[in-house]
Structure 1
Amino acid sequence: MKVVVLGAGVIGVTSAWQLARSGHEVTVIDRQPGAALETSFANAGEISPGYSSPWAAPGIPLKALKWLFMAHAPLIIQPRPDPEKIRWLARMLGNCTASAYAVNKARMVRLAEYSRDSLTALRHETGLAFDERQQGTLQLFRTQKHLDAAGKDIEVLRAGGVPFELLDAAGCLAAEPGLAAARDRIAGGLRLPRDETGDCFKFTQGLAALAESAGVTFRYGTAVKRLVVTGGRVASVVTSGGEVAADAVVVALGSHSPALVRPLGIDLPVYPFKGYSITVPIMDEARAPVSTVMDESFKVAITRLGDRIRVGGMAEIAGFDLSLNEKRRATLVRSVEDLFGGAGDQSRASFWTGLRPMTPDGTPVIGRTHVKGLFLNTGHGTLGWTMAAGSARVLADLVSGHAPEIESADLGIDRYLKRSVIRRPSGFPRPATDQAA
């Protein structure tokens, strides 16, 4: 089949690679001049299946109220009125129950674990190098209260067969010697030894080059305008460079995906969460992190990428605003300097922001839509790098008409149809799974 993939971030490029390996003729369309130049450009760098957790969790509403008054809050909600934001937040609040959290985290971990294995296979197949390390992730707790609260996550990890280590302060220092100067600020940690790190930008650019060599066509600098549907089936994509015919289309446009599919009556609950990162050159190896340390107090990930430290985190709900806020930079600097003081040269640090495509339940949306030939692979939030390789394999199997290797029915858009009425233009069939709220 002729398959058009919309988006050349890590999700789009891995999808294109797997589709091409499945025997399809693939074209990738992206408005940027190259691959991975938006959300995939400078993310936190962690590949952490065990740390895959939804933001919607018990206690989050109360925590969000407290964060409003914190100088270094992990979640910031801009007060500007936005009906889509309000509707999305209402859906998220509906997932802040213990039962919903358990279901959502379990399926996120399932996909993320599969994705880690898929990335390992892909790395061996291609020989790609992207400053990768397989030395685990350490979730660091500064207080006993935070350490005690890890119990619910440990239950899910244990149920899913995910290896973990619960560490005291000495154990944290053994895993990450660079934390020695911060020993008095560490209550303990949860270490996930199978987690990895790597530069998502380097990986995506390298895989795009391999895909192009294997016959995938990349149309960079090309804006996607709309989808053409004939008789209930997608027929083509209208772009700034003309119309591109397709037997199947994969929407992997991150936060911009909902606007494209909304005219087709698809209510895709993906909203941008603005994240920030700084990339700091290492100037003292002994003080630098070995792998990834997640500072639980600030929800900031500190990752070793070759001769650099990537510090990423926070979630600012501000629509599509991409301005750089110095207050957010101060939070990142405070976290890394408090734990790994003097490891990096802050005077040469680069500051970046990107839009993470979040769903209310934390799980991405992967699979078919009611429009024949139209597929979604989007909404990965903060876990696009973690879930990319596995999501691509699930997507390629579904496009090819094969059963994915993992359970995927609960990853599709259908899980939201019970909660809202999908408005469709005339001429589109109403699937039997649709139910009015």
Structure 2
Amino acid sequence: MKVIVMGAGVIGVTTAYYLAKAGAEVTVLDRQPGAGLETSYANAGELSYGMTSPWAAPGIPLKAVKWMFMKRRPFFIWPLISPTMWAWCAQMLRNCNEESYRINKSRMVRVSNYSRDVMSELIAETGIEYDGREQGTLQLFRTQKQLKGSKADQDILAEFGSPYEVLDPDGCIAAEPALAQVREKFVGGLRLLADRTGDCRLFTIALAEKCAEMGVEFQFGQTIRSIAIENGRVAGVETEMAGRISGDAYVCALGSYGPRVLRPLGIKLPVYPVKGYSVTLPIMDEAAAPQSTIMDETHKVAITRLGDRIRVAGTAEIAGYSKRLGPHATDTVRHVIGDLFPGGGDLTKAEGWTGLRPMTPDGTPVLGPTQYDNFFLNTGHGTLGWTMACGSGRAVADVVLGRKPEIDFDGLTAARYS
């Protein structure tokens, strides 16, 4: 079977790997000159198995309003004249209740836990290097109210069997010794022991190289113009440079840009781009640098150790497809790294970046079949694409090849939006 995978980010490349491993002939198309150059390029670096949960949760609407008025805000909506954007926001609000939250979280955890397990197998099989660490995530609380409020998260973590520790300031410092310099700035933390870290782009590039060794063909610089339908099936992908590229089956892993090519096919997915920012800086003082990932609960900013670098990422900005990196866009993430790990990294050499996260209003990715029997989806992972990539890629590959996937697809397909 010949399969065309659209998208060479971490989702597309993992899908290609599992397809090729099963014996399929695979071609990957991407408009960029290489793999992992869009959302996979400089994300937070978290493999957030313990923090897998939808943004749409009880109490979030009120919190979001408060966040928008913070000096260093973690959330902002540009008042665009966009029916698509406001419809997406309305759908997200409808999911901000206890019943929807539990349903959506259970679906997401199903994918996340599976991904955690199969990623370990993939690393053992391939031996690829990606600055990976397995030291968990420390959710850091600056106020007693935040610490008390984490009880609800603890209950959910316990329900889904995700190991954690509740830490006092001394416990936080034991996990992250550099925090001793700023112990007056936090009251405690929640440590998620199953979480890992790693550079998503390094992983994507290394896995793409393995794919190429397995016979996967990568066609870079190929902008997709449209998808051709003939006799009720997908007949090919129309590209600007190479014309039509055809196969037996097709997988759309285009992230935020998927809806643009899917809409003409009658596939209307509520996947919307949510902009995020990051800076990457070299470590200046090993003793003052983080060891794993710290999530600042106040600013919703993640600080992650990636080898000899520090990645600091955060902010959720609803602003359409704009990828403008303004002069003050990374002020919040720069403030947090300087506030919690002063002297750990060299901010004068920080490289700023912005990317678009493909978000669904319920937080759950969209996987598997469509109304076309040879066309499949692997998209909508939001901030958890890196976390869910291996599980999503393997499960979707199984569906494409007519094999029974190892996880239940109930609630994961596009049918939930019908």
Q: TM-score, normalised by structure 2?
A: 0.98
CA positional deviation for 1:328: 3.0
CA positional deviation for 1:99: 1.1
Q: Secondary structure at the match of 1:92?
A: helix
Aligned to 2:285: 284
AA aligned opposite 2:144: Q
Q: Secondary structure at the match of 2:76?
A: strand
Aligned to 1:111: 111
User: Are 2:50 and 2:193, in contact at CA under 8 Å, matched by a contact in 1?
Assistant: no
Aligned to 1:25: 25
User: Are 1:358 and 1:382, in contact at CA under 8 Å, matched by a contact in 2?
Assistant: yes
AA aligned opposite 2:135: Q
Q: Secondary structure at the match of 1:326?
A: coil
Matches within 5 A, 1:399-418: 399-417=400-418
CA positional deviation for 1:71: 1.6
> Residues 14-66 of structure 1: CA distance to partner in whole angstroms, max 9, x if unpaired?
00000111111100000000000111000000111111121111111111211
How far apart, CA to CA, are the structure 1 residues paired with 2:179 and 2:110? Answer: 31
AA aligned opposite 2:120: T
How far apart, CA to CA, are the structure 1 residues paired with 2:400 and 2:156? Answer: 31
How far apart, CA to CA, are the structure 2 residues paired with 1:151 and 1:229? Answer: 51
How far apart, CA to CA, are the structure 1 residues paired with 2:400 and 2:131? Answer: 32
Aligned to 1:253: 254
Task: Say whether 1:214 aligns with 2:192.
Answer: no
How far apart, CA to CA, are the structure 2 residues paired with 1:317 and 1:83? Answer: 13
Aligned to 1:300: 301
AA aligned opposite 1:151: K
Aligned to 1:98: 98
User: Are 1:275 and 1:313, in contact at CA under 8 Å, matched by a contact in 2?
Assistant: yes
User: Are 1:110 and 1:160, in contact at CA under 8 Å, matched by a contact in 2?
Assistant: no
Q: Secondary structure at the match of 2:134?
A: coil
> Residues 249-302 of structure 1: CA distance to partner in whole angstroms, max 9, x if unpaired?
100000000111101111111000000000010010001001000111111100
User: Are 1:139 and 1:293, in contact at CA under 8 Å, matched by a contact in 2?
Assistant: yes
Task: Say whether 1:236 aligns with 2:200.
Answer: no
Task: Say whether 1:356 aligns with 2:357.
Answer: yes
- Is 185-194 or 249-258 further displaced after alignment? 185-194
- Is 394-403 or 151-160 further displaced after alignment? 151-160
User: Are 1:72 and 1:328, in contact at CA under 8 Å, matched by a contact in 2?
Assistant: no
Matches within 5 A, 1:32-431: 32-240=32-240, 241-417=242-418
Q: Secondary structure at the match of 1:256?
A: helix
Q: Secondary structure at the match of 1:344?
A: coil
Aligned to 1:425: none
CA positional deviation for 1:330: 1.1
How far apart, CA to CA, are the structure 2 residues paired with 1:327 and 1:389? Answer: 35
CA positional deviation for 1:72: 1.1
How far apart, CA to CA, are the structure 1 residues paired with 2:321 and 2:306? Answer: 28
CA positional deviation for 1:9: 0.3
CA positional deviation for 1:195: 1.0
How far apart, CA to CA, are the structure 2 residues paired with 1:178 and 1:412? Answer: 44
User: Are 1:106 and 1:156, in contact at CA under 8 Å, matched by a contact in 2?
Assistant: no
Aligned to 1:420: none
CA positional deviation for 1:178: 1.0
Q: Secondary structure at the match of 1:411?
A: coil
User: Are 1:281 and 1:345, in contact at CA under 8 Å, matched by a contact in 2?
Assistant: yes
How far apart, CA to CA, are the structure 1 residues paired with 2:165 and 2:187? Answer: 14
How far apart, CA to CA, are the structure 2 residues paired with 1:3 and 1:192? Answer: 38
How far apart, CA to CA, are the structure 2 residues paired with 1:416 and 1:386? Answer: 23
CA positional deviation for 1:389: 0.5
CA positional deviation for 1:225: 1.0
Which structure 2 segments of 5+ residues have no match?
none
User: Are 2:300 and 2:315, in contact at CA under 8 Å, matched by a contact in 1?
Assistant: yes
CA positional deviation for 1:339: 0.8
User: Are 2:68 and 2:74, in contact at CA under 8 Å, matched by a contact in 1?
Assistant: no
User: Are 1:169 and 1:186, in contact at CA under 8 Å, matched by a contact in 2?
Assistant: yes
User: Are 1:224 and 1:239, in contact at CA under 8 Å, matched by a contact in 2?
Assistant: yes
How far apart, CA to CA, are the structure 1 residues paired with 2:190 and 2:329? Answer: 26
How far apart, CA to CA, are the structure 2 residues paired with 1:169 and 1:83? Answer: 46
> Residues 109-148 of structure 1: CA distance to partner in whole angstroms, max 9, x if unpaired?
2211111111111111000001111111111111111112
CA positional deviation for 1:152: 2.1
Aligned to 1:429: none
Could you list the structure 1 runs, at least 4 aligned residues long, displaced by more than 4 angstroms after superposition. none
> Residues 334-368 of structure 1: CA distance to partner in whole angstroms, max 9, x if unpaired?
11111111100001110000000000011110110
How far apart, CA to CA, are the structure 2 residues paired with 1:139 and 1:236? Answer: 46
How far apart, CA to CA, are the structure 2 residues paired with 1:365 and 1:154? Answer: 27
AA aligned opposite 2:247: A
| Aligned CA-pair RMSD | 0.9
Q: TM-score, normalised by structure 1?
A: 0.94
